[in-house]
Amino acid sequence: MNRPYQPIPCALYSEYELVIIRHQALRVSWQDGRGVTRVETLKPCNLRTRAHQEFMIAHTLGGARLVLRLDRIQRAEIIETGSRLL
């Protein structure tokens, strides 16, 4: 599944930045590179832009490092408050 990157709204990007600054965890639903929907609790640690695409670098609760393309995230909720970002 290699669809072109679709930029996300600046406000949503800013919300992800705040989650990182506040060291919050997110319950995230996204489609992986094969189109399979995954749901997991993640601790975002950084955002990156590469080749005109934006990515979230995060760790699973088990410590595995993930790099998610932001336009593949379908839903994200802050764990502590249950606030929905998307």
Give the pLDDT score at 82.
58
Q: What does the pLDDT look like over 16-52, one tens digit per residue?
A: 999 999 999 999 999 988 889 999 999 999 999 999 9
Between 1.10.760.10, 2.40.50.140, 3.40.50.720, 2.30.30.100, what CATH number should domain 10-78 receive?
2.30.30.100
Confidence check: pLDDT of 80 > 80: no
Phi–psi pair at 2, nearest 5 degrees = -130, 65
Query: Which H or E run includes 75?
Result: strand 73-78
Q: What is the DSSP string of 2-59?
A: -PPP-PPPHHHHHHHHHHHHTT--EEEEEE-TTS-EEEEEEEEEEEEEETTEEEEEEE
Q: What does the pLDDT look like over 43-69, one tens digit per residue?
A: 999 999 999 999 999 999 999 999 999
| Residue 67, SS3 per DSSP | strand
